[in-house]
Amino acid sequence: MALSSCFDLVEQVDMKTDGSGAIKATLNMSKSRSKVASLMKLKSVNGINIPSEATIKKEMETAVKLLRNTTGISNVQYNLDFNNYIATISCDFQSINALNDFTKTLSKQFNSQITSYNSYEFNNNTQSFKRNYTYMPSIGKEFSKLSAEDRKIFDEAYYTNIVRFNSPVKSSSHQEAKIASNRKAVFLKVKATDLITGKANLSNQITLTK
């Protein structure tokens, strides 16, 4: 049975001028919900463990509990839609450090290596927002160990990052990032396989108009 599927991971960040804001992460597998539904009935496929709905819910509740006990993070909300296979989690953060704690907590809880080596910076004086991303070759090595059939799950998978601001964006250093027509948001979409193999980088420095 092939694991051919597709999913989208979307991260939306709303930044305020003082460095606080809100973030929402969404994992959307609705395009392949019939395939996912079939897989969810199995314990494993080709040696890959398939978590049950109860396990997924437990992991999410643990992550939410950790976030609610994290300094600088508030209004933690989550939703698990097992009909369409869409999971969302969101919160408000008081500082850029709290935003980084959000990312670290989710990466650790769900063993997500795509965003594990990631951090944000915000300079209120210069009104600059920076994302630092470091690729770890071990991710690609682990991916290469999967069979060609199992790697198909990532063929149509994408990671999207959207950062919105109160002030207009002056510039963005990432060549593939797009600035919204109203110049108050930066959009970056990359293939999951490009992240896994190191062909794509998420590092970006955004400068706002003072």
The closest of 73, 10, 84, 78 to 40, measured between CA atoms, is 84
| Amino acid 2: pLDDT | 37
User: Which two three-digit tokens encode residue 85?
Assistant: 């296979």
82-99 per-position pLDDT tens digit? 988 899 999 999 999 999
Q: Is the pLDDT of residue 180 over 80?
A: yes
Concatenated DSSP letters of 171-196: EE--TT-EE-TTSSEEEEEEEHHHHH
| Amino acid 38: pLDDT | 66
| Threshold 0.95, pTM exceeds | no
